[in-house]
């Protein structure tokens, strides 16, 4: 299931011209985790995202959007849980 974040990340990695395997090696990140980020099965934590974004050479505004996109699903699930009480 693709998410807004996973689509953004996939597009940014592709636009960077860095192959996924090189990207994973440069990040020293678990290969499975990275592909879960790309597929939308999992979101990175803020620290992991902070490691990923500098390799993409993107603007501060785009970085902010990425951080917002990993936080929004948490807020959505919290509001859903609150509504069930």
Give the pLDDT confidence of 29-67 residue by residue, as tens digits.
899 999 999 999 999 999 999 999 998 988 999 999 999
- What are the structural domains, with CATH classification, of the chain? 4-83 (1.10.260.40)
pLDDT of residue 69: 87
Confidence of residue 76 (pLDDT cuts 50, 70, 90): very low
Confidence of residue 73 (pLDDT cuts 50, 70, 90): low
pLDDT of residue 75: 43
- Alpha helices in 1-85, H assignment, sequence order: 4-16, 20-27, 31-39, 46-56, 60-83
SS3 17: coil
């Amino acid at each position: 299931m693709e998410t807004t974040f996973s689509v953004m990340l996939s597009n940014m990695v592709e636009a960077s011209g860095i192959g996924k395997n090189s990207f994973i090696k440069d990040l020293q990140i678990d290969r499975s985790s990275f592909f879960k980020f790309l597929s939308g099965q999992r979101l990175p934590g803020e620290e992991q995202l902070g490691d990923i974004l500098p390799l993409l050479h993107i603007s501060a505004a785009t970085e902010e959007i990425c951080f917002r996109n990993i936080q929004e699903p948490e807020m959505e699930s919290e509001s859903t849980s609150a509504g069930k009480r």
